[in-house]
Chains A and B, each alone.
Chain A
Amino acid sequence: QVQLVQSGAEVKKPGASVKVSCKASGYTFTDYYMHWVRQAPGQGLEWMGWINPNSGGTSYAQKFQGRVTMTRDTSISTTYMELSRLRSDDTAVYYCARGRHIVGGTGKFLGYWGQGTLVTVSS
């Protein structure tokens, strides 16, 4: 069965960076896009971008351009989301979610989600 397991909670100071991991299992890691979505406390869902685990190609939401970097390590079926120059309003739960098949475009869009990683930014 498809599983996405994320790294644990983080506490960071303003201006620092955070790197969240998402380990995939139960499917061929390089066959499906991986997306990142965040949710501030008590707020809605906000899409951050995607990574193609096969090529390493990425697409980021304009809001996060210049601050977010998504990477992957195919040897351990893991994607990473790094957010830099953290501010207090970056405090949120960060989710990875599987996208569609890279080649065929099949599969359910964001049908599988990680459990979420709480990132707290506080001085």
Chain B
Amino acid sequence: DIQMTQSPSSLSASVGDRVTITCQASQDISNNLNWYQQKAGKAPKLLIYDASNLETGVPSRFSGSGSGTDFTFTISSLQPEDIATYYCQQYDNLPITFGQGTRLEIK
């Protein structure tokens, strides 16, 4: 199974800050990676697909980059509504695996 190591596990930042989350795959997954946002009590919401493509309707302050084994997710200017847990996920190989999540809080 491909292990997805996501860091940090939690993060506290101020409104307007630039926030970065990283995800490392245990083997090459090309660009077969998604980033999700999950708010409390809700289903995950796709933000970034194929590592760097912004899902329709998602604000442009969200972005993703990387390929192979190392990936980065960035919020350029944190907003109060961005409080959530964020997950990376690889779909290069079965079983599909997720990072352990990053809980984002407002400082």
Contacts and interface: CB of A to CB of B under 8 A. Distances in A.
Interface residues of B, number: 20
B55 A47 contact: no
Contacts, number: 46
B49 A113 contact: no
B49 A108 contact: yes
B100 interface: yes
B95 interface: yes
Interface in B11-34: 32, 34
A62 interface: yes
Nearest to B1: A62
Contacts of B95: 47, 61-62
Given A109-B34, A110-B91, A44 B101 contact: yes
A53 interface: no
Contacts of B36: 45
With most chain B CB atoms within 10 A of its CB, the pick from A95, A110, A115, A116 is A110
Given A45-B87, A47-B98, A61-B95, A115 B43 contact: yes
A88 interface: no
A111 B46 contact: yes
Contacts of B49: 108-109, 111
B44 to A, nearest CB: 6
A45 B49 CA distance: 17
Given A110-B34, A110-B91, A111-B49, A44 B44 contact: no
A73 interface: no
Interface of B: 32, 34, 36, 43-46, 49, 55, 87, 89, 91, 94-101
